[in-house]
Structure 1
Amino acid sequence: MSSLLLRFATQCAGWVYILLLALTLGAGAMIPYLTVDTDPENMLPADHPARIFHNQTKQTFAMHDAIVVGVVAEQDTNGVYTPETLSEVKQLTDTILDMDGVIDADLMSLSTVDNISQAGPGTIRFEWMMDKAPVDEAGAKAVEQNISRLPLLYDTLVAETGKAAAIYVPIADKNESYRIAEDIRAAISKMGSQQQWYITGLPVAEDQFGVEMFIQMGISAPLAGLMIFILLFLFFRSLPLIIAPMVVAMATVIVTMGIMIGMGFTVHIMSSMIAIFLMPIAVVDSVHILSEFSDRYKPGENAGEVISKVVSHLFTPMLYTSITSSVGFFSLMLTPIPPVQIFGAFVGFGILFAFLVTLVFMPAYVSRMSDKTLVNLQQALHGEGDGQSRVAAIARSIGKLAMSWRRGWLVVFSALFAVSVWGITQIQINDNPVRWFKADHEIRVADRVLNENFAGTYNAYLVFSDTNAVPSAAALIGVDVPEELSGWQWDTLKSVTEQPPTAALESLIIAIDDAMFTVESDEAVAYLDELVARAEQALSVSKTFQSPEQLAYIADLQQYLATTGLVGKSNSLSDVVKVVNRELRGGEEKDYALPDSPQAVAQTLLQYQSSHRPNDLWHFVTPDYRESLLWLQLTSGDNQDMTAATKLVAQYVDEHPLPAGIDYQWAGKAYLNVVWQENMVAGMLDSLLGAFIMVFVMMVVLFRSVVFGVLAMLPLTITIAFIYGLIGIVGKDYDMPIAVLSTLTLGLSVDFAIHFLERARAIFKETNNVSATLEAMFGEPASAITRNALVIALGFTPLLFAPLVPYITVGVFLASIMAISALVTLLVLPAAMSLLHRFVFKSR
């Protein structure tokens, strides 16, 4: 098949150009339809149980994604409690309330919440905390005193130090968070405030990352292309010649991205790097072809015939390196993370597409080049004096170093491997979308400052549910009904059958009250009296979280979490009940306690619903009181801290069992990040092990030798161990970009080994001498490997200047991967092959 393609390429070059251009333009037409998605929630499949429950929780308790706006007044002795600062808080709050996309009913600010106080014995007053901004220090002091009495708001709206105040801005669509944040920034700028204002929160961090990621895509990919162009020119000194590999790279990137976008896939943080990954990888085969072509070509020869022989000679190693590299990325499709699956699928496709384009376009292009250009290429690579280019001289030096200290290199890399294995055991799995920005980014700074001042801007929800069955209305009515009520029985059952259990009981009680006015017999009246008593008892028991015992359990858990140092603060229905109960009683601190009966709890909640924000109650409990939410505020969004919090809760529940029939589940963005991280790590490990075994089998099949298969896996194994060992040793968190790099290591590390071993075996067939073979290997083959390592490593260097941490991480570690894998290939493989020559080389 390769001969047919080569014949077509060299004899029908025009058609090759036309077909490639048409395909590139067709796919490129899809790119303007690109959509960006940076929501970590989409790292989980839509049907994942944790994601489903999270969205159910948000809907059930009317919880919304929120932007956190904070003002810090460090220099003022009164902190934010001054007429000027409180006036600015009020002014900005009013402006935000008028913005599109803001859920104004749930916005929390000093001017939109109630002050709860005692109006008299047994009565409560609900009045706006700050309906108007205070005009003097006395008014500001009154706000301070009032807020300090409300645990629900203290250290949430105003810091304990009094130096900071916050506005929580709930939004209808988290994809609008960047636009709303920009509008808030503009409003702050217009105020001309003398204080420091900050904006943070996971929604705005994620959406802003999407905006900056889109910009970074448009900068990094062209810069990577420019870097590769410069490197190729330095290597080959021929502008017409290096156009060919650049065409291959550009066509590969455009076609791959165009197909992905055309198929309706969004661009996530991982798929945004597809262009950066493919740009250097796509020119690898071209460099091998140009290097060997320049070695074989002699002035006056037919370029088409020479390039055909070169490609035929390199076809097998190029095919296997492309397949193994793509297998590494295709293995990502085994992970349970949809964006990672898409990334792996399209990078794998891009690698195979680049191989096919290289196989056809390079012969077509080179066969049409002028003799003068080809002579210049040969002189650039081999020089006019000593016959060596700089890259060739470096390769020769590495060869001498490898062969002069063979056993030493094996010992050094064995020790390095052992240390790396220990380093892998030190790896810590952790991620946080806010940390995707550099430390000096405004989002990162705001996150740090506000979490230092407040109880926490990261939210997690603990949902308690009563799984005990509620007595049905039908069971209470029974079948032994007085004859006078038989018609009433069936009408009532018909009306309540389709209602939820608790609502059915409430409807039954109403129906009984109505029936009392119509029955005449003593038997019917007695039956209804007994029935209403049973229904009211069942209804009272069904309202689980009106029970003081249940609320006390949650309050005790809150108190425990407050001592752990992981949870800055928590709010629950217990806090609501305690505050209202205090004001209903004496208003003293000793009255800040739970009532002693469900009826008293119900009374406090009924009073609370007389406030200006009665629907706030349903953020903590469902209307049937069967589910209750505990809102945790964390000062850190790191997965490690969220995981630690879940373990602490689990430990507490083990030591203090929940009441019978009560279960709990986690929800919230901070918790979802933990879930997809755990899925990613497990999925990456499975895909890496599967791909590793598959590549080994392919190596054995390719070389028809177990010995060569093992040798081919040496650079791969040492490189992966070194890179991940280094991550553990330096304390770099194992996050999403780091996890994906394992597949790139697998694919590219074996690439160099395949070329080295295949060429060594071919040269040995000609020389039948081990020393001569290894000496020849540090000529053109080692030069090509060195050029490719430099092209790929330096091709990613534009990422080092990106403002986004994941891009920098990829740039640093890819350069390290290329350097280590090239060194292992050129130092360890020849040393091992020389020392084990009896098993590696078999004389004719």
Structure 2
Amino acid sequence: MGFKAWLVELSMQKPKQVFIGILLLVVLAAIQIPSIKVDTDPENMLPHDQADRVFHDEMKKQFSLYDMIVIGVVNTEHPEGVYNPKTLADLHQLSEAIQVMDGVIRQDLMALNTVDNISQSTEQPGTIRFEWMMKSAPETQVQAAQIKAAVERLPLLHNTLVSGDGQAAGIYVPIVAKAESYRLSNEIQQVIDQLKQNSPDSGNEFYMAGLPVAEDTFGVEMFIQMAISAPLAGLMIFVLMWVFFRSMLLITAPMLVAMGAVIITMGLLIGQGYTVHIMSSMIPIFLMPIAVVDSVHILSEFSDRYKPGEDPKQALKEVVGHLFTPMLYTSITSAVGFASLAFTPIPPVQIFGLHVAFGILLAFALTIVLVPAYIVSLSEKRLSALKDHSLETNDDGKLGRLLAGIGRFSVAKSKGLVVLFIVVSAISVYGVTTIQINDNPVRWFKEDHRLRVADKVMNTHFSGTYDAFLVLEQTQQEALKSDLKLTLEKLAPGNQQLVELWTTHQDLPLNEMLQKLAFALDDLAYDDADQEQLWLGMLDEVERAQSDSKYFLSPEGLSYLNGLEQYLNGSDLVGKSNSLVTLLKTVYRELQGGDAAQYRLPVTSDAAAQTILSFQSSHRPDDLWHMVTPDYRSTALWLQLKSGDNQDMSRVIALVDQYVQDNPLPEGVELNWAGLTYINVVWQEQMVSGMLNSLISAFFMVLLMMLILFRSIKIGLLAMLPLSVTILFIYGLIGFVGKDYDMPIAVLSALTLGLSVDFAIHFLERCRAIYRKTGSWPATVEEVYQGPARAISRNAVVVAVGFTPLLFAPLVPYITVGFFLAMIMAVSAVVTVVLLPAVINGISNKQALFSVNNDQKEKENA
């Protein structure tokens, strides 16, 4: 007894044990679900040890950078925009309320009431004064005008904290973790609602933007959507099967298989400790339609073969024996399509692909075990009722007549159809070449979503709400150490104390080493009067090295940084950049009298250091360390971008690359990128290349399986035809309609691969079996367009309709997946029932194609 026969026999002999066993598995999986952990952070698309992500995380720590929620208040009704007492009072009140919220980094919050006005001191010429820009809300329009004049003198704030048109002011809210952004945005919204209620006629409109709040909000709405879409998908399948079969008996078994597959798969994922990410949240709605297909095949054929009064077990053995191999291979090919996602370098996509693959194979196993157990547990009366809902005998219905007509048309016009599909494929290839790779988490929401609206409004007024950081580092620590060592050894050749001193400190980071050397040499000069001058001379050299090591206080380092910033600010791709040079030029201008002509960099390192020292007396001295490290060897340019699209960020990267090519980095200086907008580009590029590799590898794996299944190169290639045409058509359509190649589109490659070949397997397997029986191609076409073609069509509709609830989702990725999945099912079904017979009709030796000889034909007929 073969394995499949043993499995079916077991399920038929012990149906109760089968039900109990599956129920226990479902319960065990279900109790894992309450421990679900959610992760919607696109950063986690990259492994934790990925180089760009590691650098990004290090830079956040090094420069004390935090994810930010950006709040904007816009007033287009007042002649002075936001520069009026009421708007500034609301802004002040909102800022004060936000500062006391849990999860907000209060000391780094940027608003008009938390930043300094930098101006020249009127009491002591040559010194500057730092005072709060808006310590309290202005009471008169004159006071508001004074704030406007002060802001417009400060390049750090102009068009960042208040828009250039004066109609919008911002609050930049740094938060302890991205996962806090949704909660904080709701708390902030409550304050805003109260402000609007208190002053309904103020003309103020409030908006919230920023990648952190968009990503966290998407996570919350995603799970709300899945909680709605998954049950709706089940309901849609239930209703559709009722329309098709008009029998609760035919509906119950597939629905049990689908629910069992979904619950066990999700329970496995959660029980293993994996977080549910954007992709894995879609597992239920992917599995639900796919899981019912094999059950429908078995029940349909069983209802056709079974005759009331006969032993149902015998009919089941025949049905399962006939369908087991094509169902196994369709399940394996679908699973391979999803499992191919394991070849991508994106961990959440790997987890998604492998678990959907597991769910598909699980659905097959449940179908083979649960459906026979379900059937034999039915009473004879209920079994007889199945005959009234046979799918195979109703050839006079609209679908039967339509399919019969398609079969005759496909054969009669085979040459024209082949040419037509070749032309469509060629046009699709062109469409594929026009696809643009792009993504932006804010665009995951519909255009009328409050976050999408806020993004548009605020990026119209401000320099940009998307952040990227350009980090320059002077890395020649060892060279500086070596030069200093040679200098000191020249002053005291062979001095044992110097050798011991150097050996003790040489492995420390440069800045720390120089500090400790300076302290030690100062102590030696004090303790060793005989060699005081020697030690003091060495101390001078160490202090000189300390000064030289502060590269981004040197004229060379600041000049390069200044040139790069001016270049970026002159580009339409960058809204604005802020950096150490902006701060230095602003403070230096006030130290030199406040005239606009003095807005320039200090000419020496000492002057730059003195300018920095002056800034340290401000209310926010730590703002300096967001721009440069305390050793002045690393500096960060904060770029504000009006768009978070990957394409726009990539253009900015190319812009910087061009500048560096034309103006090579100073010796020993390295340039790298950080920031969420940049990280999104990195994972998107890795996903695209990974998806392409997985698609190619899975394509050849499926081809190999087709050759093994049919034991024929020709039929194996024929089975790949619907898959190939569907892939080309779907991605060509994506190119022609201008849909960006983003995360959900990338995942569709696995779906196309897995689902498109299923129909071809069933179609060709039945064609081969029928031709071997009849020996006639016209008779084969006539018979195959009765039961098999109708089953394929109905299964295509069931799967496609199962995804339709996604079309009504408020989140764009779900709409995209729902629409294109329906297209995949429609195209693959049409190609299968229209193109395959047309191609086969053009093959002259059909007996060789289907491997038929007279002896075999007589044996099969007998």
TM-score normalised per structure 1? 0.97
Separation (CA, whole Å) in 2 of partners of 1:556 and 1:381:
78
2:501–2:517: 8 Å Cα contact kept in structure 1? yes
1:36–1:214: 8 Å Cα contact kept in structure 2? no
Alignment of structure 1 residues 553-592 onto 2, 5 Å: 553-592=560-599
Aligned to 2:843: 836
Question: Which deviations, in whole Å up to 9, do the C-alpha atoms of 1:769-815 show, x marking residues without a partner?
Answer: 11101111001000110110000011100000111111000000000
Question: Which deviations, in whole Å up to 9, do the C-alpha atoms of 1:165-193 show, x marking residues without a partner?
Answer: 00000001111110011100011111224
* Residue 300 (structure 1) shift: 2.7
Question: Which deviations, in whole Å up to 9, do the C-alpha atoms of 1:509-568 show, x marking residues without a partner?
Answer: 3444444444433xx233234323322221221110001221121121122112221110
Q: Secondary structure in 1 aligned to 2:300?
A: helix
Separation (CA, whole Å) in 2 of partners of 1:605 and 1:264:
49
Alignment of structure 1 residues 128-277 onto 2, 5 Å: 128-192=132-196, 193=199, 194=202, 195-277=204-286
* Residue 494 (structure 1) shift: 7.3
Alignment of structure 1 residues 680-719 onto 2, 5 Å: 680-719=687-726
Selected match of 1:71 from 73, 77, 80: 73
Aligned to 1:58: 60
- 1:10 is matched by which residue type in structure 2? M
Question: Which deviations, in whole Å up to 9, do the C-alpha atoms of 1:128-168 show, x marking residues without a partner?
Answer: 00011110001100100000011111111000000000000
1:295–1:780: 8 Å Cα contact kept in structure 2? no
Separation (CA, whole Å) in 1 of partners of 2:282 and 2:383:
35
Q: Is residue 2:549 matched to residue 1:542?
A: yes
Aligned to 2:419: 411
Aligned to 2:516: 507
1:291–1:780: 8 Å Cα contact kept in structure 2? no
Question: Which deviations, in whole Å up to 9, do the C-alpha atoms of 1:381-409 show, x marking residues without a partner?
Answer: 4599x753443333223223322321221
- 1:99 is matched by which residue type in structure 2? M
- 2:616 is matched by which residue type in structure 1? Q
Selected match of 2:475 from 467, 488, 495: 467
Q: Secondary structure in 2 aligned to 1:265?
A: coil
Alignment of structure 1 residues 28-427 onto 2, 5 Å: 28-119=30-121, 120-192=124-196, 193=199, 194=202, 195-381=204-390, 387-427=395-435
Separation (CA, whole Å) in 2 of partners of 1:722 and 1:643:
28
- 2:420 is matched by which residue type in structure 1? V
Separation (CA, whole Å) in 2 of partners of 1:607 and 1:507:
26
Q: Secondary structure in 2 aligned to 1:45?
A: coil
Aligned to 1:552: 559
Alignment of structure 1 residues 632-781 onto 2, 5 Å: 632-781=639-788
Aligned to 1:437: 445
Moved more, 217-226 or 509-518: 509-518
Separation (CA, whole Å) in 1 of partners of 2:560 and 2:506:
33
Moved more, 468-477 or 399-408: 468-477
Question: Which deviations, in whole Å up to 9, do the C-alpha atoms of 1:60-83 show, x marking residues without a partner?
Answer: 000000000111101111100011
Aligned to 2:856: none
Separation (CA, whole Å) in 1 of partners of 2:385 and 2:414:
37
* Residue 496 (structure 1) shift: 4.2
Cα 1:475/1:183, change in 2 over 3 Å: farther
Question: Which deviations, in whole Å up to 9, do the C-alpha atoms of 1:451-509 show, x marking residues without a partner?
Answer: 111000000011001121322666554386499x966x478557745642123223333
Separation (CA, whole Å) in 1 of partners of 2:512 and 2:500:
16
Question: Which deviations, in whole Å up to 9, do the C-alpha atoms of 1:411-445 show, x marking residues without a partner?
Answer: 11111100010100001000001111111111111
Aligned to 2:860: none
- 1:22 is matched by which residue type in structure 2? L
- 2:263 is matched by which residue type in structure 1? I
Selected match of 2:831 from 810, 824, 827: 824
2:283–2:352: 8 Å Cα contact kept in structure 1? yes
Equivalent residues, number? 839
Aligned to 1:5: 7
Cα 1:481/1:313, change in 2 over 3 Å: same
- 1:675 is matched by which residue type in structure 2? V
2:404–2:786: 8 Å Cα contact kept in structure 1? yes
- 1:620 is matched by which residue type in structure 2? M
Aligned to 2:614: 607
Structure 1 residues without counterparts, runs of 5 or longer: none
Separation (CA, whole Å) in 2 of partners of 1:456 and 1:803:
25
Cα 1:700/1:552, change in 2 over 3 Å: same
Cα 1:515/1:279, change in 2 over 3 Å: same
* Residue 122 (structure 1) shift: 1.2
Selected match of 2:807 from 800, 824, 828: 800
- 1:127 is matched by which residue type in structure 2? E
Selected match of 1:786 from 780, 788, 793: 793
- 1:28 is matched by which residue type in structure 2? A
Moved more, 329-338 or 473-482: 473-482
Q: Secondary structure in 2 aligned to 1:567?
A: coil
1:248–1:361: 8 Å Cα contact kept in structure 2? yes
TM-score normalised per structure 2? 0.95
Separation (CA, whole Å) in 2 of partners of 1:121 and 1:600:
17
Moved more, 508-517 or 705-714: 508-517
- 1:125 is matched by which residue type in structure 2? R
1:770–1:837: 8 Å Cα contact kept in structure 2? no
Separation (CA, whole Å) in 2 of partners of 1:834 and 1:374:
40
1:423–1:729: 8 Å Cα contact kept in structure 2? yes
- 2:149 is matched by which residue type in structure 1? Q
* Residue 636 (structure 1) shift: 0.3
Separation (CA, whole Å) in 2 of partners of 1:404 and 1:704:
29
Question: Which deviations, in whole Å up to 9, do the C-alpha atoms of 1:30-67 show, x marking residues without a partner?
Answer: 01111111101000001100000000000000000000
Separation (CA, whole Å) in 2 of partners of 1:475 and 1:65:
45
Separation (CA, whole Å) in 2 of partners of 1:121 and 1:327:
76
- Tell me the C-alpha RMSD between the 2 structures: 1.7
2:261–2:291: 8 Å Cα contact kept in structure 1? yes
* Residue 212 (structure 1) shift: 0.6
Moved more, 727-736 or 367-376: 367-376
- 2:606 is matched by which residue type in structure 1? Q
1:759–1:777: 8 Å Cα contact kept in structure 2? yes
- 2:512 is matched by which residue type in structure 1? A
1:252–1:278: 8 Å Cα contact kept in structure 2? yes
1:476–1:535: 8 Å Cα contact kept in structure 2? no
Question: Which deviations, in whole Å up to 9, do the C-alpha atoms of 1:634-680 show, x marking residues without a partner?
Answer: 00000000011001100110011111111100111011111111111
Separation (CA, whole Å) in 1 of partners of 2:147 and 2:750:
57
Q: Is residue 2:19 matched to residue 1:17?
A: yes
